[in-house]
Chains A and B, each alone.
Chain A
Amino acid sequence: NAGVMQNPRHLVRRRGQEARLRCSPMKGHSHVYWYRQLPEEGLKFMVYLQKENIIDESGMPKERFSAEFPKEGPSILRIQQVVRGDSAAYFCASSPVTGNNQPQHFGDGTRLSIL
């Protein structure tokens, strides 16, 4: 499967635990974007990364959330001390290069549920 791969597909955490969401971009893509979709709402941009660099984190909450895209391995979105309001679908998208006109292709998402 050459598409954007996200895992896990579903993740259940209790309040106060940590959630780690993983994303491997499409083959040949070096740009990764994370979006969050709350129930009955649209997709909201969170963060844009290239290998070993955070380019734009303007949509990321200032506390408890962090993201990385190491030289080797998938991009990780980490949520510490989760709260019920973190329950959402988290989508990762990738593109081959940055700049306008570059469509982003989405993975299947991780559905995060907080008990």
Chain B
Amino acid sequence: QKEVEQNSGPLSVPEGAIASLNCTYSDRGSQSFFWYRQYSGKSPELIMFIYSNGDKEDGRFTAQLNKASQYVSLLIRDSQPSDSATYLCAGDGGATNKLIFGTGTLLAVQP
């Protein structure tokens, strides 16, 4: 059973701080990992994806992948109240590219 695990939170950070969201996965065959943001009652919105070990930066967001430790993280710098949402980590589930999602981490940025 391929699994992606996330701490459900809530993770509470003050405005302007760095929010660190973490994810582990069980399938060593997974190659690509995706972070989606989902506001309550809305659809998942792609934030970043990563498939190489190391860091990938896009604006205030940095995704990190460590395949040896089977660990993925998302850092959000200068957190804003508008970043408050559930962050979903997903890994590819095989040749058909289906995504295996974690249950999400609820982030609350306090003004």
Contacts and interface: CB of A to CB of B under 8 A. Distances in A.
Contact of A107 (B34, B43, B51, B100): B43
Contacts of B60: none
The 6 closest A-B pairs by CB, nearest first: A42-B103, A56-B96, A100-B31, A43-B101, A45-B98, A42-B101
Contact of B97 (A100, A105, A107, A109): A100
Interface of A: 31, 33, 35, 41-45, 48, 55-56, 58-59, 91, 93, 95, 98-109
A43 B98 contact: no
A89 B103 CA distance: 15
B86 to A, nearest CB: 9
A35 B101 CA distance: 10
Nearest to A33: B98
B31 A42 contact: no
Interface string B75-111: 0000000000000101011001111111110000000
A93 B88 CA distance: 15
A101 to B, nearest CB: 5
A54 to B, nearest CB: 11
Given A33-B99, A42-B101, A44-B101, A106 B31 contact: no
B46 A98 contact: no
Interface in B21-40: 31-32, 34, 36
Nearest to A105: B46
A69 to B, nearest CB: 14
A108 B42 contact: yes
A74 to B, nearest CB: 17
A107 B97 CA distance: 17
Nearest to B98: A45
B34 A109 contact: no
Question: Which of A42, A93, A107: most chain B Cβ within 10 A?
Answer: A42
